[in-house]
Structure 1
Amino acid sequence: MRGGSENAFQRRRTFLSVVTILFVISVLTMLVARSESDAFAKPRAVIDNITAPVINVINMPIRGAERMISNMKARSETFEENERLRAEIARLKDVEIRAKALQDKINQFEEILKTDIVDDIPTLKIPARAVAETNGPFVRSALLNVGRNDGVSKGHAVMTTDGLYGHIVRVGNGSSRALLLNDLNSRIAVKSARSEARAILIGNNSATPSLSFIGPEADWKPGDGVVSSGDEGVLPAGLPIGQAVAAASERAFNVTLHTNKRAVDWVWVYPFTPIQEPDENPDEDITAQAASNGGPSASADSATDQ
């Protein structure tokens, strides 16, 4: 019992001595650090050399704990991010499968119908600079710096990034004139993108041309998207034009043009080949072709001669 008490006492004395020494060193370090006298420069350096390793050893467990906590937090965030990415990949796979199925259906329909079921919009574009006319034959028109030499022809659609701007009404070798949709002379066959209802967009020299020739059963509503219908065989179908708005009278609508959003400098021309009209006398052409090939008509003529 006595030996155990002496050992415990000895440990307490050693601990108190170490604490006292560290306390004295800390006080001296603080006093020396606050002093700016050159006399303390050398003792300060000696104390720093002694205390630096001690402080470094004392801080090692703290730094290790900080690194361990930081690594644990990073692993937790990485795990959560991986779970989120797995869920996103699964969702995108489902979207990809659905999109592929829809694309396969579209390809089948196009193969059956032998046409593009979306629209008639050409892929070729002829870029041009547009300059608004002030003294031309029309109130709302623009001059383009492209013409016949560039592949532009009368009737071609003129587009901006917002929508249909107008159509070509006169062509020169190096320039052309476009009639804008809101000119009084403009007439465009259009339809509702929602209901496929037809109408004629007529310019009125204002910012909002009107819809005319709306049938009694035509399903037009304010807010409908207005696109070209292609019914007149001049413009391709599906070109965006504007949005229908209610006019003053019942079942009357105007159209807010997409091209009114900003000033127009650069445009492009869509070279579009409409459906050709049939020959004037197709029966005569068929008869002549059959005769030249020794067909029934030629045989009948030979029998008559005999």
Structure 2
Amino acid sequence: MTWSRHADVMTSARRLLVDPDTSGFYHCISRCVRRAWLCGIDPYDGKSYEHRRGWVEQRLLELADIFAVGVYAYAVMSNHVHVVLRIDPALAASWPDQEVAMRWVRLFPATVNGEVDVPACRVKEQTLLGNADRLSVCRQRLGSLAWFMKALNEPIARRANREDACTGRFWEGRYKCQALLDEAAVLTCMSYVDLNPIRAGLAENLEASAHTTAARRIEAVRSNPLNARLPLSSINTTIVSDYLPITTEDYLDLIDWTARLSRGDKRGRVDSTEPP
């Protein structure tokens, strides 16, 4: 099954879609419930939740440095989040025990009154290293798509519920997931995700598409022009990435060109008179 932009085709059982022992690319979508607005201005009460975009992006980047995951595209929208990633369980299997313990404790640190307790974290690492069975479970989870999405969504839900002074579900059941079976599907899906703010009429161009990988890649090229000619890879550099058959510069040119095309089912596009 290859990628489609239509969410209603994402109906395969997760256990049939995601092989926990095999690396692969996936497109995941998490949506809010109870008319909740993850970010932006809620039209029902006029309240701004724009600051929550930063919560999601920060958490996503933190997890990308912990899990055996390469993040290739994301877009934090008003009431949903898109992520294109490559899970690599074989990489997690190759990590030394000490690294597995360190990464797991980074994910679930020991805390006191909400603050990380560094000495207690060291003790937790040593305890984990002394428990081979538990360490094996942690290793498997650090290479798991399900655990990555769980670690992304649950803290955001708890934080939003505290801010909203309510309880119950924040996300709409389980995240939706689609396997991307070849490089063409990965690139097509990445461009779809990066163009979400423009197609939704929330941004005028790629640079203004805040909290997307497109904006992050543009900033990386501006800070170091040599990045433009590098093969397109994940945005997190702490993991060995699969490179896609296109440079970062060519990818940005491709999605800029695509953004200028009108689509009958989408209200937004880049003005064709705007310089590329």
Please give the range of the TM-score, normalised by the shorter of the 2 chains. Answer: under 0.3
- Of structures 1 and 2, the one scoring higher in RCO (CA 8 A, sep 6+) is 2
Which structure carries more strand by proportion? 1
User: Could you state the TM-score of these two structures normalised by the residue count of structure 2?
Assistant: 0.21
Higher Cα Rg: structure 1 or 2?
1
User: Could you state the TM-score of these two structures normalised by the residue count of structure 1?
Assistant: 0.20
